[in-house]
Chains A and B, each alone.
Chain A
Amino acid sequence: MMNIVVLAKLVPDLVEELTIDASGAALDLTFARWIINELFDDHAIEQGILLKERSGGTVTVIAPDLEGADDVLFTAAAKGADRLIKVRSDFSAANNHAVARAFSAIIKGFQPDLILTGVQAHNDLDGSAGPLLAESLGLPYVGYVSGVALADGKFMVKKEYPGGLIAEMEVTLPAVFGIQAAEQPPRYVAVSKVRQAMKTSSIEEMDASDLDLSGAPEIERMFQPEAAAHAEMLEGTPEEVSAKLVALFKELGVL
């Protein structure tokens, strides 16, 4: 019986316009809509459920207590997750170091065989959340995983490399995996099933220890892309334009 824990990260929905807050060094998240990190953490949940369906076990999904977390957790329950945990703390301003430390303390208590999380998020592009979590749990980490399987008592994972190369490796559990893609795209859960899950399952709330924000780089300034240079339009008849073009090329020294 495998004890699978999925750390489901939430991200601000990019459908809403992003604004910078008054400090000029962070996003203004007052009106942000928090949703599951669809590209990766949703796959981590799916992979956990697939593994459970295939090899048995329990799936515990843990999410930070942001608005939208209930939705993520109940949807996971509708897919087949057994235990739902919401971790309370002020996560909206936390960095990955703090998040990893906070969650590792809680996850340790579950004594999981494997921990799955999304390999990246748009607010964690270098994908440090997974490795930091592994570090703080003292467990091995494999990222960019696109398939896991338990066969003959061995735990095998598939890892994707650029250029379409795939490696298969045997991993000694417990370990942390950064999921790139589940073996199947995340399934659709009908609204009626989510509503059902809201009635039949419950979310346990846990408190994270005080966030330790140390170790992260400090952001000096955050800003919308600024147009550094603008394009110059060459106008006129085709002859004039080509003449200008030639002059321009000469000026630039390419002709």
Chain B
Amino acid sequence: MPIRETFWNIPHWAEIAQYVLALLTALVFIYGVGHRVLRWRKGLPEKRSGHFWARIWSLVTQVLAQRRTLDEAYPGLMHFTIFWGMLVLAIGTALATVDWDVTNLFFGFQFLTGWVYILFELTLDVLGLLVVVGLGMAIYRRYVTRPARLQKFPTLENVSYAARDDAYVLLMLAFITLSGYLTEGLRIAVTQPDWAAWSPVGSAISAAFLALGDPANQTLHLIVWAIHILSAFVILASLPFTKLFHIFSTPLNIYFRSLEPAGALQAPRSEGGVKEWKQFTWKQLLDFEACTRCGRCQDVCPAYASGHEFSPRDVMIKLEMHLWEKPNGRALHGDVVSAAELWSCTTCRACSQVCPAFIDHVGSFVDMRRYLVVEGTVDNQLQKALANLGRYGNSFGQSERMRAKWTQGLQPAIKDARKEPVEYLWFVGDYASYNQTLIDVTRKTAQVFQRAGLNFGILYDAERNSGNDVRRVGEEGLYEMLAEKNLQALSRCKYETIVTTDPHTYNTLKNEYAWNGNRPRILHYTELLDELISSGQLKFSKKLDARVTYHDPCYLGRYNGVYDAPRRILHAAGCELVEVPRHGDRAFCCGAGGGRIWMEEKPGRERPSEMRVREAVALDGVTTFVVACPKDVTMFRDAVKTTGSESRIQVKDLIELVYEAM
């Protein structure tokens, strides 16, 4: 009967030695894991419990099924094969251990016998091959095709620990898999069991050794076995100290990920922002340790693409290295992460959207920016904008009394929501109110609302910048001040729904304002128009017949999941939509978010907005670039000029098309 002959050809002393080694390995492993866990516990508290089943479900989809990892074919498949291959081999080893050291030792029976054993052999034998394929793909990719995102890791004293660590892991995994196969092959070569055919790979290898004959093969088997076992223990012992630790840290990070809306930034947990790493929360520290340096975030990052000395991948790697530095005087700010890096981020969240480890980059960046703001490390333009926001409630440095100047001459006059009840309270926002080039669009918005018969009003002088980007700059105090003023003004009005022009405003009103359980319905104007169209309240009188493309604003799409409403409006207005390659949750940021629009521009290769315009211009027959965010209008109109694309494409707000089609 087929049966697993554990410790075949292994002398008793070697068997004992193996148990001793196993014990040692376990001790090192436990020490290492403890070391890591204690480090996380040095972080500040953060609540991440609750939603147990939702969290378990994340583990199923994202760890077992590797959903996000599989978003990219080559690296996805590569990782999937290694992951499942290794997992099955590990389970197999565990079963074998139980079979021998538990059931056999204590109860005198083995379950790996007969057909169970044959199935066991077959599975392990074949799935081991998956690992070999995956590892081959990984080695080929990392050392032959060498994509940019796996190159140029940050160093510490000129040593690239990351590159070393990556090489170690691949080498060890390859070594353990191949030595495992060799052991198996040699065993089959000597014992030649009847069921050898069920181990196809092992049998194939055994064929190569048959000629050597028994005694030689037995000795060789013992040697290879010893090497195999040793390398297995080395891997296990080194696991908590190397990249392999992501086997634990990444699933943990996925389990503990935030299930709050993506647009709800956490208030500072340490007063004055994060100055040193211990002021991060344990979850943020876990973030850094869960990073596998896969570089996907870098590939989608607009700041990196425009040539800034910045990559979200690098910041994660540097933070992780910093956690483990002995006290050596290197400061988090300046030595580890520079202010320029922190100011580069547009908070577009493209990184977190693709990160297979579900890391929240923006949260940590903003926490560090908060420190920079309290220290006063802001550039002149940003300082001016913040001062204006503090004094006038808008970044333009214009009097709040001028906020509704754009309404002058509109007939009928727009209702003052402070004076009479309205159904829709329109939160206009800074750019739409003050920017001269946008006033035309804003007036058209008002006219569309009027023609649709909406009962709406605005806050006039009482409106302030919503603070969404002020908060992301890291100026929490100013954000609170602005939010308080807006909430105060809103609390004095009677309305049912708030509708916003700006996706940034939309985000913070919807996800961050302290409504104390009385949050009204909050819509972006595209959502409102979509509703009005489907209810028949808004009708188009003509079809536009235009070939257009649409840019998903970060704070509407990725942050709030509004992808379909604008597309349905375009369709209803008779436009033919041709998607840019990067659309939906992969949309490429215009570069203005997170307060970047207020900052001095640093020289780079090309602005994100310009890259985006080129992407649109390359589409066949598309002449209109449709946006749904006032900042986008200014950013892209500018980029159309600087790229000399005026004759090819024009930038329009969605509302302009609606206005034309009415």
Instruction: Show the binding face of A for B, using Cβ within 8 Å.
Output: 15-16, 35, 185, 187-195
A192 & B387 in contact (Cβ 8 Å cutoff): no
Interchain CA distance A35-B388 in the complex, whole Å: 12
Q: How far is the CB of A172 from chain B (nearest CB, A)?
A: 33
Q: Is B192 an interface residue (CB 8 A)?
A: no
Give 5 A-B contacts (CB < 8 Å), ordered by A residue: A188-B378, A188-B386, A189-B376, A190-B373, A192-B374
Q: Is B391 an interface residue (CB 8 A)?
A: yes
Q: A15-B392, A35-B391, A195-B477 are in contact. Are A188 and B373 (CB under 8 A)?
A: yes
Which of A15, A16, A195 is the most central at the interface, judged by chain B CB atoms within 10 Å of its CB? A15
Q: Which residues of B contact A193 (CB under 8 A)?
A: 374, 477
Q: How far is the CB of A15 from chain B (nearest CB, A)?
A: 5
Interchain CA distance A189-B477 in the complex, whole Å: 10
Interchain CA distance A195-B272 in the complex, whole Å: 13
B481 & A191 in contact (Cβ 8 Å cutoff): yes
A16 & B374 in contact (Cβ 8 Å cutoff): no
Q: Which residues of A contact B477 (CB under 8 A)?
A: 190-195
Across the A-B interface, the 4 shortest Cβ-Cβ residue pairs: A191-B477, A192-B477, A187-B376, A191-B478
Q: Which residues of B contact A190 (CB under 8 A)?
A: 373-374, 376, 475, 477-478
Which label, helix, strand, loop or mixed, suits the secondary structure of the B interface? helix
Report B380-404 CB contacts with A as 1/0, cut-off 8 Å: 1001001100111000011101000
A191 & B397 in contact (Cβ 8 Å cutoff): no
Interchain CA distance A29-B476 in the complex, whole Å: 33
Residue in chain B with minimal CB distance to A16: B399
Interchain CA distance A111-B393 in the complex, whole Å: 40
Q: Which residues of A contact B383 (CB under 8 A)?
A: 185, 188
Residue in chain A with minimal CB distance to B377: A188
B399 & A15 in contact (Cβ 8 Å cutoff): yes
Q: How far is the CB of B651 from chain A (nearest CB, A)?
A: 30
Q: Which residues of A contact B397 (CB under 8 A)?
A: 15
Q: Which residues of A contact B390 (CB under 8 A)?
A: 191
B475 & A16 in contact (Cβ 8 Å cutoff): no
Q: A35-B391, A195-B477 are in contact. Are A188 and B376 (CB under 8 A)?
A: yes
B387 & A188 in contact (Cβ 8 Å cutoff): yes
Q: Which residues of A contact B398 (CB under 8 A)?
A: 15
Q: Which residues of A contact B272 (CB under 8 A)?
A: 192
Residue in chain A with minimal CB distance to B388: A15
Q: Which residues of A contact B401 (CB under 8 A)?
A: 16
Q: Which residues of A contact B478 (CB under 8 A)?
A: 190-191
Q: How far is the CB of A191 from chain B (nearest CB, A)?
A: 3
Q: How far is the CB of B446 from chain A (nearest CB, A)?
A: 25
Interchain CA distance A188-B481 in the complex, whole Å: 16
Q: How far is the CB of A213 from chain B (nearest CB, A)?
A: 31
8 A Cβ contacts from B184-227 to A: none
Number of interface residues of B (CB under 8 A): 23
Question: Of the candidates B374, B380, B481, which one forms a contact with A185 in the assembled complex, judged by CB atoms under 8 Å apart?
Answer: B380
Q: How far is the CB of B597 from chain A (nearest CB, A)?
A: 17
Q: How far is the CB of B9 from chain A (nearest CB, A)?
A: 71
Interchain CA distance A91-B476 in the complex, whole Å: 35
Interchain CA distance A140-B401 in the complex, whole Å: 44
Which of A15, A191, A193 is the most central at the interface, judged by chain B CB atoms within 10 Å of its CB? A191
Q: Which residues of B contact A185 (CB under 8 A)?
A: 380, 383
Question: Of the candidates B380, B386, B399, B476, which one forms a contact with A192 in the assembled complex, judged by CB atoms under 8 Å apart?
Answer: B476
Interchain CA distance A54-B114 in the complex, whole Å: 85
Interchain CA distance A192-B373 in the complex, whole Å: 10
Interchain CA distance A194-B481 in the complex, whole Å: 12
Residue in chain A with minimal CB distance to B382: A188
Interchain CA distance A129-B293 in the complex, whole Å: 62
Report B124-149 CB contacts with A as 1/0, cut-off 8 Å: 00000000000000000000000000
8 A Cβ contacts from B27-41 to A: none
Q: Which residues of B contact A188 (CB under 8 A)?
A: 373, 376, 378, 383, 386-387
Report B94-127 CB contacts with A as 1/0, cut-off 8 Å: 0000000000000000000000000000000000
Interchain CA distance A190-B382 in the complex, whole Å: 12
Q: Which residues of B contact A15 (CB under 8 A)?
A: 392, 397-399
Q: Which residues of A contact B475 (CB under 8 A)?
A: 190-191
Q: Which residues of A contact B399 (CB under 8 A)?
A: 15-16
Q: How far is the CB of A41 from chain B (nearest CB, A)?
A: 15
Interchain CA distance A23-B395 in the complex, whole Å: 36
Interchain CA distance A38-B312 in the complex, whole Å: 38
Which of A16, A187, A192, A193 is the most central at the interface, judged by chain B CB atoms within 10 Å of its CB? A192
Residue in chain B with minimal CB distance to A194: B477
8 A Cβ contacts from B502-552 to A: none
8 A Cβ contacts from B445-488 to A: 475-478, 480-481
Interchain CA distance A192-B271 in the complex, whole Å: 9
Interchain CA distance A158-B310 in the complex, whole Å: 39
Q: Which residues of B contact A194 (CB under 8 A)?
A: 477
Q: Which residues of A contact B378 (CB under 8 A)?
A: 188
Q: Which residues of B contact A187 (CB under 8 A)?
A: 376
Q: Can you name 6 extra interface pairs (CB under 8 A) apart from A188-B373, A190-B374?
A: A15-B392, A16-B399, A185-B383, A188-B376, A191-B480, A195-B477
Interchain CA distance A80-B376 in the complex, whole Å: 13
8 A Cβ contacts from B163-187 to A: none
Q: Which residues of A contact B380 (CB under 8 A)?
A: 185
Interchain CA distance A185-B476 in the complex, whole Å: 23
Interchain CA distance A121-B162 in the complex, whole Å: 57
Q: How far is the CB of B433 from chain A (nearest CB, A)?
A: 15
Interchain CA distance A194-B390 in the complex, whole Å: 11
Interchain CA distance A187-B481 in the complex, whole Å: 20
Residue in chain B with minimal CB distance to A79: B376
Interchain CA distance A187-B375 in the complex, whole Å: 9
Q: How far is the CB of B396 from chain A (nearest CB, A)?
A: 10
Interchain CA distance A195-B378 in the complex, whole Å: 19
Q: How far is the CB of B481 from chain A (nearest CB, A)?
A: 6
Interchain CA distance A35-B399 in the complex, whole Å: 13
Residue in chain A with minimal CB distance to B479: A191
Residue in chain B with minimal CB distance to A35: B391
Q: How far is the CB of A183 from chain B (nearest CB, A)?
A: 15
Residue in chain A with minimal CB distance to B389: A191
Q: Which residues of A contact B391 (CB under 8 A)?
A: 35
Interchain CA distance A185-B397 in the complex, whole Å: 19
Interchain CA distance A16-B480 in the complex, whole Å: 25
Residue in chain B with minimal CB distance to A192: B477
Interchain CA distance A189-B376 in the complex, whole Å: 6
8 A Cβ contacts from B228-285 to A: 271-272
8 A Cβ contacts from B353-379 to A: 373-374, 376, 378
Q: Which residues of B contact A35 (CB under 8 A)?
A: 391
Q: Which residues of B contact A195 (CB under 8 A)?
A: 477
Q: How far is the CB of B372 from chain A (nearest CB, A)?
A: 10
Q: How far is the CB of B377 from chain A (nearest CB, A)?
A: 8
Which of B376, B391, B478 is the most central at the interface, judged by chain A CB atoms within 10 Å of its CB? B376
Q: Which residues of B contact A191 (CB under 8 A)?
A: 390, 475, 477-478, 480-481
